[in-house]
Amino acid sequence: MLQKKIACAMSSILTKWWFISHLLLLTSLASSGQVVQSARFEIPFSRNDTKFEIIPADQYGLFLLRRLGGFPDDQLEIAKLDTSFHESWHGYLAINKKFILVGKRTEKQKLYLLLRYMDFSKNDLELISIDQESGNFVRHMVKNFIPFSPSEFQITQNGALIGGYYNRVPVVIFFSFGTQKSRILPGLLNESGELTQIKTYPDGSFDVLISGRGYKGQKTIWIKNYDANADLITNYALESEDNKHLIFARSLKTHENMQVVAGVFGTRNSEYARGLFIATVDPAGLQRMRYYYFADLQNFFKYMKAKREQRIKARIERKRIKGKRARFNYRFMVHELVPYNNQYVLLGEAFYPKYTSVDSRSYNGFFSPGFSQGAYIRNGRIFDGYYYTHAVVIGFDNDGNIRWDNSFEINDVKTFTLEQFVKLEVHEDKIALLYLFDNELRTKIIKGDQVLEGKSSEPIKTTLENEVIKKENTDVSKLDYWYKDYFYAFGVQEVTNPVAGKRRVFFINKLSYE
């Protein structure tokens, strides 16, 4: 097995290049709690520099990674930082120019990188495992006989799971670390559909969830349970009502081996959801389904202005009096399903795609100056990104009964790839909801359906006081989970200091809600 050590670069030049600054900035949100930005990491960053990706490694710290050109191979620059942003090691890893990085994952003190051929000239994949402590790495060649582009990547106790599509049919490969062999998971390649989740568990077992057609031709969620050796244990579909098509779902298992599945349902062949479903499946296979239309939720429309929300609720009540149901269609993604205080909490976000009309006669194959980067032309319209409206948080019991719901308005967020923006931090007596936009941390504190602290915001703190962040020259910043109750915020900022002048930096801020 090829083993080498990533060269440590601890010279004085690199020590100066890597600039670490710590700050203790306690900013009180309200008497109910506060956001603490406890440390900051900065690197000087020019407009021509390649951006860093961050890969969290739980309590072991995090990795900085970026691709640099080279000859004959490109280089992956990798730095390992601990939770206090002290550099553990830093070095470069050669990769073939024909490979692109398609997956990144940390698990049990190792960093795993998945690469595929850029031009699909070969189907084989390369998996690199890097020891977090020493920087030693091993290259694994993953044999693959089906041409597909990986979109899902997870690490289990015994191997790596690589998921994607072949002719609209979900495919998942299991690569065994023990045998160094790969195989397609049993129970797949039988139906077309959407690979919605690969859920791993500490004992090495895992679930694969696929949204596809059931035996009656109705769209539903297939749940495939596998043991640690990737052998199929159970394979079943959720049994939904005839007029309800299950579009997307997330899943978890309880300590009693009960399967809990939550997602969205809609009408036939529609991408729009009309509500949420919650299913519980006991070890014997007995299913219990609950359906909740958006109109059934008490706080779903709280993101609207007061007068509009009142009109919507009045419409719902008029329908109810007549014995009818008000139906609303939303594009909605379920992101998280977590246990909490003898309940389960679901977090999802509503969004919509925006298009701008364009005169195709004046379009010559290049983007016009006024169009956003990443947009594309289709049928005389230009796709200008996904816009988010609000996040929804729901608490339900072991039987799938909703106990409370709440919402969090999302302002100004636009993206060309669907991703989770709002994060949650659960405490015994409250839940903090947070997201980052335009260098401002926006928060809301709830307890069930109550609002303990309304929407508030505070800036991402810089190294020194009285510094000004130039928003028009700042790239998009993001917030993500780190370890325990800590988050990290990162991005590129242009900062003006009244004494030292202007600087452009790549930054990471460590923060928590207390």
In this predicted model, what pLDDT tens digit does every residue of 155-174 receive, in sequence order?
A: 999 999 999 998 888 999 99
pLDDT band at 470 (very low <50, low <70, confident <90, very high): confident
pLDDT above 50 (res 195): yes
pLDDT band at 498 (very low <50, low <70, confident <90, very high): confident
pLDDT above 80 (res 22): no
What local confidence, expressed as pLDDT, does residue 368 receive? 37
pLDDT band at 9 (very low <50, low <70, confident <90, very high): very low
What local confidence, expressed as pLDDT, does residue 192 receive? 81
Nearest to 187 by CA among 205, 201, 202, 169: 169
pLDDT band at 71 (very low <50, low <70, confident <90, very high): confident
Query: Per-domain residue ranges for the chain?
Result: 1-18+25-138, 299-489
What local confidence, expressed as pLDDT, does residue 102 receive? 94
Q: How many CB atoms lie within 10 A of CB 412?
A: 10
Give me the mean pLDDT over the 346-367 stretch. 72
pLDDT above 80 (res 411): yes
Q: How many CB atoms lie within 10 A of CB 248?
A: 21
What local confidence, expressed as pLDDT, does residue 361 receive? 52
pLDDT band at 475 (very low <50, low <70, confident <90, very high): confident
pLDDT band at 210 (very low <50, low <70, confident <90, very high): very high
Cα distance between residue 57 and residue 14, in whole Å:
23
What local confidence, expressed as pLDDT, does residue 177 receive? 95
pLDDT above 50 (res 365): no
Nearest to 79 by CA among 67, 62, 96: 62
pLDDT above 60 (res 183): yes
- Tens digit of each residue's pLDDT (9 = 90 or more) over 290-304: 999 999 999 999 999
Q: By the 8 A CB rule, do 91 and 7 touch?
A: yes
Helix (H) or strand (E) segment spanning residue 23: none
What local confidence, expressed as pLDDT, does residue 146 receive? 83
What local confidence, expressed as pLDDT, does residue 43 receive? 92
Higher pLDDT, 147 or 447: 447
Looking at the chain, the whole-number percentage of residues with pLDDT higher than 70 is 88
Higher pLDDT, 43 or 119: 43
pLDDT above 60 (res 371): no
Give me the mean pLDDT over the 331-344 stretch. 93
What local confidence, expressed as pLDDT, does residue 415 receive? 87
The answer to which of 46-50, 234-238, 348-352 has the lowest mean pLDDT is 46-50
The residues facing 170 across adjacent strands are: 165
What local confidence, expressed as pLDDT, does residue 28 receive? 34
pLDDT above 90 (res 473): no
What local confidence, expressed as pLDDT, does residue 174 receive? 97
Higher pLDDT, 256 or 228: 228
Give me the mean pLDDT over the 252-265 stretch. 92
Higher pLDDT, 367 or 378: 378
What local confidence, expressed as pLDDT, does residue 474 receive? 65
Contacts of residue 5, Cβ cutoff 8 Å, sequence gap at least 6: 134, 135, 136, 137
DSSP secondary structure string for all residues of 437-455? ETTEEEEEEEETTEEEEEE
What local confidence, expressed as pLDDT, does residue 467 receive? 86
Give me the mean pLDDT over the 354-380 stretch. 54
What local confidence, expressed as pLDDT, does residue 120 receive? 79
Nearest to 480 by CA among 106, 17, 130: 106
What local confidence, expressed as pLDDT, does residue 187 receive? 83
Give me the mean pLDDT over the 422-430 stretch. 92
Phi, psi of 408 (to 5 degrees): -145, 115
Give me the mean pLDDT over the 112-127 stretch. 91
Q: Tokens at residue 150, please? A: 């990986």
Q: By the 8 A CB rule, do 197 and 207 touch?
A: yes
Give me the mean pLDDT over the 117-135 stretch. 91
Tell me the pLDDT of the chain averaged across its residues: 86
What local confidence, expressed as pLDDT, does residue 366 receive? 41
pLDDT above 90 (res 176): yes
Q: By the 8 A CB rule, do 336 and 263 touch?
A: no
pLDDT band at 358 (very low <50, low <70, confident <90, very high): low
Cα distance between residue 5 and residue 339, in whole Å:
41
The residues facing 259 across adjacent strands are: 253, 281
pLDDT above 60 (res 363): no
pLDDT above 50 (res 15): no
